[in-house]
Amino acid sequence: AQSVAQPEDQVNVAEGNPLTVKCTYSVSGNPYLFWYVQYPNRGLQFLLKYITGDNLVKGSYGFEAEFNKSQTSFHLKKPSALVSDSALYFCAVRDVNNAGNMLTFGGGTRLMVKP
C-alpha cells in the first residue's frame, strides 16, 4: 500500500520569504514522488518529480524539493515566495512496485503568500 500525508492544511508566508510545504510518504518499495499545483477552478499543473539520483530536484517556477529517504519526506521549497504562488499544492506518490501506474495524492496544502 502507498500513502502520502501533507500535515498542514494551510501555509502562510510573506512575499519574498522562503516557503516550505511539507510532504511525507509511505510505500513498500522505492517511491516515485511528484508535486502538483492547482490554481482556482483549474486542473493540476506538474511542478517536479523525484525518480532517482540527486535528492534535490529542481522544477518549474523556481520550486525545488528535497527527497529524504530516512525521514520519508519530500518537502517542496522555494527561496523567495511570490503572491502569484498562492494556490493549492498536492504531493503524490507512486510505489515502484505499482504496475498500475496509480498515483496516491496527499490531502493538499493551501499556500497563501501575502504582500
Partner 1 sequence: DTEVTQTPKHLVMGMTNKKSLKCEQHMGHRAMYWYKQKAKKPPELMFVYSYEKLSINESVPSRFSPECPNSSLLNLHLHALQPEDSALYLCASSPRGRGPSSAGTDTQYFGPGTRLTVL
Q: Footprint of partner 1 on this chain (CB under 8 A)?
A: 32, 34, 36, 41-46, 49, 51, 88, 90, 94-103, 105-108, 110
Write out the H or E segment, with its range, that includes residue 42: none
- CA nearest neighbour of 111 among 40, 32, 24: 40
Residue among 6 and 75 whose Cβ is closer to partner 1 = 6
State whether the Cα torsion 19-59-88-28 is positive or negative.
negative
As a whole number of angstroms, the distance between CA 88 and CA 107 comes to 10
Residue among 60 and 80 whose Cβ is closer to partner 1 = 60
Q: Rounded to the nearest whole angstrom, what is the least distance from the CB of residue 5 to partner 1 in the complex?
A: 11
Residue among 82 and 88 whose Cβ is closer to partner 1 = 88
Q: Rounded to the nearest whole angstrom, what is the least distance from the CB of residue 4 to partner 1 in the complex?
A: 9
Cβ atoms of residues 53 and 32 within 8 Å? no
Residue among 102 and 112 whose Cβ is closer to partner 1 = 102
